[in-house]
Amino acid sequence: MSSLASLDPAAHRPHALHDGARAWPETNCYVDLFIELVGSLGLEADAMFGFTVTQDFEDDQFTFFKVPVDDLEALYGLRVQELAIFDDLGAHVARQVARDRVVLVEMDGFYLPDTGGVSYRVQHTKTTVGITSIDVAARRMTYFHNAGFFQLSGADFDGLFSQTGRDRKADALLPYTEFVKLPAAPVKVDTLAVAKRLMARHLARRPAANPIEAFGAALSAHLADLAGRPQDYFHIYAFNTLRQLGANFELLASHLAWLSGKGEPGLARAEAAALEIATSAKTMQFKLARAMARGRFDGLDAFIAPMAAAWDTVMSELDARFLVGRVERRAA
CB 300 within 8 A of CB 291: yes
Q: For 229-250, what is the mean pLDDT?
A: 96
Q: Is the pLDDT of residue 327 over 50?
A: no
The predicted pLDDT at position 23 comes to 98
To the nearest whole number, what is the mean pLDDT of the chain?
Answer: 94
Beta strands in the chain (DSSP E): 79-82, 101-108, 126-135, 140-145, 148-153, 177-181
Q: Which is more confident, 228 or 168?
A: 228
Q: What is the pLDDT of residues 35-90, one digit of tens each?
A: 999 999 999 999 999 999 999 999 999 999 999 999 999 999 999 999 999 999 99
The predicted pLDDT at position 130 comes to 97
Nearest to 35 by CA among 18, 20, 51, 21: 18
Q: State CA 17 to chain mean position distance.
A: 11
Q: Is the pLDDT of residue 169 over 80?
A: no
Per DSSP, 272 falls in state: H
Q: For 273-293, what is the mean pLDDT?
A: 97
The Cα–Cα gap between 332 and 123 comes to 38
Residue 92 — pLDDT band, cuts 50, 70, 90? very high
CB 141 within 8 A of CB 69: no
The predicted pLDDT at position 176 comes to 94
Q: What is the pLDDT of residues 181-223, one digit of tens each?
A: 999 888 899 999 999 999 999 999 999 999 999 999 999 999 9
Q: Is the pLDDT of residue 34 over 80?
A: yes
How much is the pTM? 0.94
Q: Inter-axis angle of helices 304-322 and 191-203, to 10 degrees?
A: 120
Share of the chain above pLDDT 70, in %: 96
Q: Is the pLDDT of residue 332 over 50?
A: no
Q: What is the 3-state secondary structure (H, E, C) of 119-157?
A: CCCCCCCEEEEEEEEEECCCCEEEEEECCEEEEEECHHH
Residue 329 — pLDDT band, cuts 50, 70, 90? very low
Q: What Cα–Cα distance (Å) separates residue 148 from each residue in 118, 134, 142, 191, 265? A: 15, 17, 11, 25, 33
The predicted pLDDT at position 145 comes to 97
The predicted pLDDT at position 1 comes to 61
Q: For 3-13, what is the mean pLDDT?
A: 91
The predicted pLDDT at position 2 comes to 67
Q: Is the pLDDT of residue 236 over 90?
A: yes
